[in-house]
Amino acid sequence: MSLPVAVFASGSGSNLQAILDYHASLDAPPWRVELAVSDQEEAKALERARRAGIRSRSLPVAGRSSGDVAGETLDILRFSGIGFIALAGYLRLIPADVVGAFRERMVNIHPALLPAFGGKGMYGMRVHEAVLAAGARVTGPTAHFVDEEYDRGPIIAQWPVPVRAGDDPHTLAARVLRVEHLLYPRVVDHLARALSRGCRPAPFSPRGTAFLANARATADVERAISAGFTED
């Protein structure tokens, strides 16, 4: 039976699209994106979901109590039978009751090498500005489990991305996002496959068979490994 997955996003949903595209490239994966949720009614992520034939829901958060948001969130997830959640540019803190209900079944992608450059208020271009201000020579995305604090859950996978001389926040963001689009769908696939079998996931390996799921993915990833993600 296919595991229903929900993707939460606040903005454009490019990581949602990357997950959908990767799913479409797989041969009968045992999971599917069933639902897209956003705290922004006009989020482009919801438009992407609707174009893909996926149910979408807006979930207002501003001005509401954590308990109220948690109750509505759990109702939405239970109605859809969701077994796994991927946060993809979702900027709200997940209520503790939802975290508890989906412990080790909810993941996030952050555009820096945690634990550096994470925490409340560290999202989007702010992260890349902080990386450059600190003089860091390497950055990159981190996939991690979600807990009750921003960006503090156990790390699943990281992928270093070089910071180049002359980078500004926009050029650096574009390079990291390219890597996110390769890494995150494969992390989602790796974990969702384990959950669909009712077992704990093995440690994630970027060179594992779950990561290199088809010829095109293999070529993309191996090229990225050898280039160190320094290509434009």
| Residues tagged active-site | 110
The DSSP symbol for 107 reads E
Q: How far is 106 from 56, CA to CA, in rounded Å?
A: 18
DSSP letters of 131-182?
HHHTT-SEE--EEEE--SSTT-SPEEEE--EEPPTT--HHHHHHHHHHHHHH
Phi, psi (rounded to 5 degrees) for 31: -150, 165
Q: Are 89 and 10 in contact (CB under 8 A)?
A: yes
CB-based burial, 120-138: b 16+ in 10 Å, e otherwise: eebbeeebbbbbbeeeeee
Give which of 93, 171, 159, 97 is closest to 132, Cα–Cα: 171
Q: What angle do CA 64, 147, 111 make, to 5 degrees?
A: 95
Q: Are 105 and 84 in contact (CB under 8 A)?
A: yes
